[in-house]
Amino acid sequence: MQEKMNELKLSALSALEGCETSRDFQDLKIRYLGKAGEVTGLLKGLKDVPKESRAEVGKIINDLRQELEGAFAAKEEELQKKEMEAGFLAEALDVTLPGTRPERGTLHPLTKVRNEIIGVFTGMGFEIFEGPEIDTDYYTFQALNIPKDHPARDMQDTFYITENVVLRPHTSPGQIRCLEQKEPPIKVLSPGKVYRSDDDATHSPMFQQVEGIVVDKKVTLCDLKGALDAFAAKLFGDETKTRFRPSYFPFTEPSVEVDVSCFRCKGKGCNLCKGTGWIEVLGAGMVHRNVIKNCGLDPDEYSGFAFGMGVERIAMLKYGIPNMKMLFENDVRFLNEFDK
């Protein structure tokens, strides 16, 4: 009996010694001190001990039990402390670690260029006027001196919604709407999205234009040249010059294509300007007498100039972007290039 108790004591203490987790501890506690445990088993065995020594053996077993209970309690406390410390350590916050920064957004290159264009002209006193993207045939064409079945309609590959309603293929209807709504002197800039059935590396079915119109007494082609010179210098660099080439738009007379001197090679000739020293950036002209008349003004009293430019085209030129699609794909690696 004595030997059995010694064995039990030794095995319990050594098991306790090697116990690392409170889960193992609970198992051990049940195994040795539980209701069906080993020590209880010894007490149950008392009935087989001869009566005269029963009290003595009982006391020894009880002593053993007390000793083990003490050892288990000490171990339990030790484990709890250890696990609490491990918990604190795991939750510890190192305030000296660098934080994870949220990614910073940037303005889209088209937004930047559009804002820049708007900034240049509002700086010259232009007001912003926005027209609708879906417009009638009248505002889109007829009032702009493009009658139904006029061949000039082929210049824009228009999306027709019904026979008389279109997705505007240019921002020029804004000219009519603001001439109808305002009294001269008029000095308006009309930015917005336009739509054409056109899709390749330099064309997209949706793109943005900025339209400008100035109407007052005695506005001349020189005023147009002066305004566009200032614009070109601001957008492409101080040394940039402009030149006018004769062109045709039904709503302006005379009409011009406006080139800027190549800001990359300074006019010497490079691949950007295809060796010519000049880059075409926009269309413009003097507002046609018929347009002035269509808006209820007297063309002998009032004159004006108008211009229209594509924002994507200017962004592509300015930043050397080879394909218009890159402006719409929203590839973050591409967009981050403009965060400078």
Give residues in contact with ligand PHE (CB under 6 A): 170, 172, 211, 249, 252, 283-285, 306-308
Fill in the amino acid letter for 305. F
- Give the residue with the Cβ less far from ligand PHE, 192 or 283: 283
Of the candidates 213, 146, 225, 198, the residue with the CA atom closest to the CA atom of residue 313:
198
Neighbours of 102 (CB within 10 A): 6
Strand partners, 287: 252
- Give the residue with the Cβ less far from ligand PHE, 64 or 252: 252
**Euclidean distance between CA atoms 305 and 134, whole angstroms:** 25
Question: Which two structure tokens, joined as six digits, stand for 242?
Answer: 């402009």
CB of 337 to ligand PHE, least distance (A): 29
CB of 256 to ligand PHE, least distance (A): 8
- Give the residue with the Cβ less far from ligand PHE, 131 or 285: 285
CB of 221 to ligand PHE, least distance (A): 12
CB of 274 to ligand PHE, least distance (A): 20
- Give the residue with the Cβ less far from ligand PHE, 306 or 327: 306
CB of 122 to ligand PHE, least distance (A): 18
| Burial bucket for residue 304 (CB in 10 Å: 0-12, 13-18, 19+) | buried
Alpha carbon 196 to chain centroid, angstroms: 26
**Euclidean distance between CA atoms 284 and 45, whole angstroms:** 113
- The side-by-side arrangement of strands in the sheet containing 134-136 is 134-136, 165-167, 159-162
CB of 112 to ligand PHE, least distance (A): 22
- Give the residue with the Cβ less far from ligand PHE, 109 or 308: 308
Fill in the amino acid letter for 80. Q
| Burial bucket for residue 92 (CB in 10 Å: 0-12, 13-18, 19+) | exposed
Chain position whose Cβ is nearest to ligand PHE: 308
**Euclidean distance between CA atoms 230 and 228, whole angstroms:** 5
- Give the residue with the Cβ less far from ligand PHE, 25 or 249: 249
